[in-house]
Amino acid sequence: MKSNIKAVIFDMDGVISDTQVIHSQVESDLLKEYGLDIHPDEITKKYAGTTSYQMFPHVFQTFEKEMPPIEEMVSKKRERIDKAVRGAVREVPGTRDFINFLKLQNMPTAVASASRLSFIDLVLSELDLKDKFNAIASSEEVRMGKPEPDVFLLAAERLGASPKECLVIEDGIHGMVAARKAGMYCVGLVRDDDHDINVYPADILVKDLREVRLEDL
């Protein structure tokens, strides 16, 4: 095992759980009610890893539409996504195996997500993974969400690890950028066929975390 990797930090939506798909579908349906037509796949590509407070204003600005109160949008999304995930969350294949492998190595692990703390708790509880992590950090706890590094730096602090000792697992471009800004090594979990390192700014790209060999990083 590479000696300078002392902790592993996971994004949640799209890395641990399939909830990125649910996020983007809920957001797409909600935006349609305001006359904005954007496909869930496009939302994932452009905004995965960002908070609702970042995503909604940018979408309305892009469409050159006047935006309703942000709290109205956020409240509607929260109510719908909490309902959508209960009993319907699936885990990303391979991630639980990788987490269990890290536990066997006594490797400290954390979740660092753009989602709010209550949603992180809900998803991890649904998947019975909550006790697998030594720390949890949410973008709602920091000044700037991804692509800024704040949430990863908070997770590292809670694990007692320096940024250069941390490995980040991310599926979103914004999260990969944030990991780089934090000075952390980043594995990009990209499950489609687009494995262009120029598109996804991670150090390496994999389709399944069971492909990751820490000693090779």
- The helix/strand/coil state of 159 is helix
What is the fold of 7-18+89-216? Rossmann fold (3.40.50)
- CATH 1.10.150.240 segments of the chain: 20-85
Residue indicated by tokens 């990125």: 20
**pLDDT tens track of the chain, all 217 residues?**
445 899 999 999 999 999 988 999 999 999 999 999 999 999 988 888 788 999 999 999 999 999 999 999 999 999 999 999 989 899 999 999 999 999 999 999 999 999 999 999 999 999 999 999 999 999 999 999 999 999 999 999 999 999 999 999 999 999 999 999 999 999 999 977 666 666 889 999 999 999 998 777 7
Rounded distance, CA 193 to CA 155, Å?
30
Q: Where would I find the beta strands (DSSP E) of the chain?
A: 7-10, 109-113, 135-138, 166-170, 185-189, 204-206
Rounded distance, CA 141 to CA 155, Å?
11
Please tell me the predicted confidence (pLDDT) of residue 196.
64
Q: Cβ distance 171 to 113 under 8 Å?
A: no
List C-alpha distances in Å: 76 to 9, 53, 123, 155: 29, 13, 18, 28
Please tell me the predicted confidence (pLDDT) of residue 49.
79
**In the CATH hierarchy, which top-level class contains the domain 20-85?**
mainly alpha
- CATH 3.40.50.1000 segments of the chain: 7-18+89-216
Look up the pTM and report it.
Answer: 0.86
Please tell me the predicted confidence (pLDDT) of residue 1.
44
